[in-house]
Structure 1
Amino acid sequence: MRHRTLLELAERDGIVLPDSLVSEWPPQLRATDEKGWFRFQRLYDVARSVLRTELDVRRLVLEAAEDDVRDGGRWLEIQVDPSGYAARFGGITAFTDLVLDAVRDASRETGLGMAVVIAANRTRHPLDARTLARLAAQYAGRGVVGFGLSNDERRGSTADFAGAFAIAERAGLLLAPHGGELLGPDSIRTCLDSLHARRLGHGVRAAEDPALLDRIVEAGVALEVCPVSNVALGVYSDLTSVPLPTLMAAGATVALGADDPLLFGSQLAAQYATMRAAHELTDVELAELGRMSLRASCAPSDVLADALADVDAWLAADVS
């Protein structure tokens, strides 16, 4: 969500936002302890609460697409937990229908390829996750491309969600749980062993375990690395500490992402810019990061081919 959209929708409905989402935005975050994560989650929930109407949801999706196009994006996968909006929008199926319709309209208007990843919430019962997995399976091939698991990875037992991921796996969906950010390598192993993850939300802590990193590379599991988010939440002290060079040197598939631009104040292109500056990345390395991001996605073959060709063209023009 754009910051100005948050402010406009809150003012419309008389919602009082905390200073950290208004005058002190972007908020100062740190989630290395439970209190810090609770504060982050509270701000996230406050921001979600301004979505009151169908038009609000459509606006959010369209603006997300417009922002990615501005940053050079060609394919956007929006992750959403329909249960977080079910009460206000007529249930999880009705809300999923709304989001998918908004995605189709936004894609048509902006030219950006788009799809949806339905995610369960670690803080809710694993049976709720099975319900969402069946929902995701119902829409497989109709705009939903993956199934995820979000929220604080220190809460609950990741392995308890294996049943939900098995449902999604049978439906042919990409399995993309969050893991390996606030917790270390053991959390990643559980995502691989119990959830059969093919892409990890974060997974950056794999850099701490060479054997695990080798396993990830060998299996072709992609890592969604979100540098500004990692620093904002206190996982790393600064951008130079984000172990992107270690991951790349090992041959890992890395997709740079902005995580939640509203709360971290940084969009997609800024992740490339900050990593270039922090690690002195060359144009060749930046181009490969772009290619890996595309290959780690569920983009159709024609979108993928065109986007990869444009990355190559950018690099050739820059080198010449």
Structure 2
Amino acid sequence: MRQHMEMARPLNTLPKAHLHLHFTGSMRHSTLIELAREQGVHLPDALVEDWPPKLRATDERGWFRFQRLYDIARSVLRRPEDVHRLLREAAEDEAREGSRWLEIQVDPSGYAQRFGGLTETLELVLDATEKAARQAGIGMAVIVAANRTRHTLDARTLARLAAHYQGRGVVGFGLSNDERRGRARDFEHAFRIARRAGLLAVPHGGELLGAASVAECLDDLGADRIGHGVRAAESPRLMERLADRQITCEVCPLSNVGLGVAERPEDVPLRRLFEAGVPIALGADDPLLFGARLLPQYELAREVYGFADAELAELARQSIRSSTAPDAVKKELLGEIDAWLASPE
């Protein structure tokens, strides 16, 4: 087995798209430590000596702890230059791992007070994203995400904001946070606003709740992609629907293990979804809290799920096809994936 690994094509040169990465969660751990020290923010041991933290969000207390650590991390981003730094470093990290197109997800509400309002926050993020993409030589776009635990009217406000910036860097509208605390169908109006503006509908589903949560995202929100979606594997009929309609699941294996959705990497049903024909875009979710960026997810596909190079190339193709990258960029990247696969092992 080891000899096979040594002979395998390097995964960091496989062109890929990263479609499931949260703004705060993309921060480098070293940057969190540095900014906290500069600003006198006390970080709990879970974010310093015991990093990455031991998490388990399958009960409410565990999810609350996860959110608390997230909020502490968010608190160190206080100045526009911190936002520019976070996105510049995220772009550099993506480029290093062979990620050529990144769609980063942000809820501007978490920063609005700090940066002068929702619109000002989003404009800051879009400006920093554009500069970071240019410097790192990759494509980047923004998904505006509503929070399931907040009022549905807040989601409508964010959908209108996202719609206003469609074509100016915003490509999708998402819905994140604890599935158990907000039904997808309650946010149908917000997603209608976003879809009418030509934005992709990319809600989270099938992470902390089962296949019915994914079906609700499809039927009530008109999802184009599903954030996570792994628990669709619990329903052969649902997997068939996802495959027929080519609805991509943004699968984040090490996040699933980190939050206790799966006990071990082996328990994430990546292979089952793939063989059912469900398109997959591997994602890292929140590297700051799970300790792994995009490349380790591909390494896991090779080493744990037994994906051969031809299958890894197909995973990368699915991520590119599912992205909002311009057609010319997609064509170029798909050609580069073919070249990667055609190269000698």
- Scaled to the shorter chain, the TM-score interval is over 0.9
Shift of residue 178, structure 1, vs aligned partner: 0.4
Moved over 2 A (4+): none
Q: Is the 8 A contact 1:103 1:115 kept in 2?
A: yes
The within-5 A match list for 1:125-274 is 125-274=151-300
> Which residue is 2:76 aligned to?
50
Cα deviation digits, residues 157-207 of structure 1 (max 9, x gap): 221100000000100100000000110011111111111111000001011
> Which residue is 2:16 aligned to?
none
Greater relative contact order (Cα < 8 A, sep 6+) = 2
Aligned residues: percent identity?
A: 63
The separation in 2 between residues aligned to 1:57 and 1:66, in whole angstroms, is: 14
> Which residue is 2:121 aligned to?
95
The separation in 2 between residues aligned to 1:239 and 1:157, in whole angstroms, is: 28
Q: TM-score, normalised by structure 1?
A: 0.99
**1:61 maps onto 2:84 in alignment:** no
Greater displacement, 52-61 / 187-196:
187-196
**Among 101, 107, 111, the residue aligned to 1:75:** 101
**1:35 maps onto 2:49 in alignment:** no
Q: Tell me, which stretches of 5 or more residues in structure 1 are unaligned? A: none
**Among 22, 45, 49, the residue aligned to 1:19:** 45
Shift of residue 305, structure 1, vs aligned partner: 1.3
What RMSD in Å do the two structures reach over aligned CA positions? 0.7
Shift of residue 26, structure 1, vs aligned partner: 0.4
> Which residue is 1:107 aligned to?
133
SS in structure 2 at match of 1:41: helix
SS in structure 2 at match of 1:255: coil
> Which residue is 1:4 aligned to?
30
**Among 314, 323, 330, the residue aligned to 1:288:** 314
Paired residues, number: 319
SS in structure 1 at match of 2:104: strand
The separation in 2 between residues aligned to 1:15 and 1:47, in whole angstroms, is: 9
> Which residue is 2:145 aligned to?
119
The separation in 1 between residues aligned to 2:344 and 2:158, in whole angstroms, is: 45
> Which residue is 2:343 aligned to?
317
Q: Is the 8 A contact 1:239 1:275 kept in 2?
A: no
Matched residue type, 1:216? L
The separation in 2 between residues aligned to 1:158 and 1:173, in whole angstroms, is: 17
The separation in 1 between residues aligned to 2:150 and 2:305, in whole angstroms, is: 39
Matched residue type, 1:80? V
Matched residue type, 2:80? E
Shift of residue 256, structure 1, vs aligned partner: 0.3
The separation in 1 between residues aligned to 2:162 and 2:111, in whole angstroms, is: 16
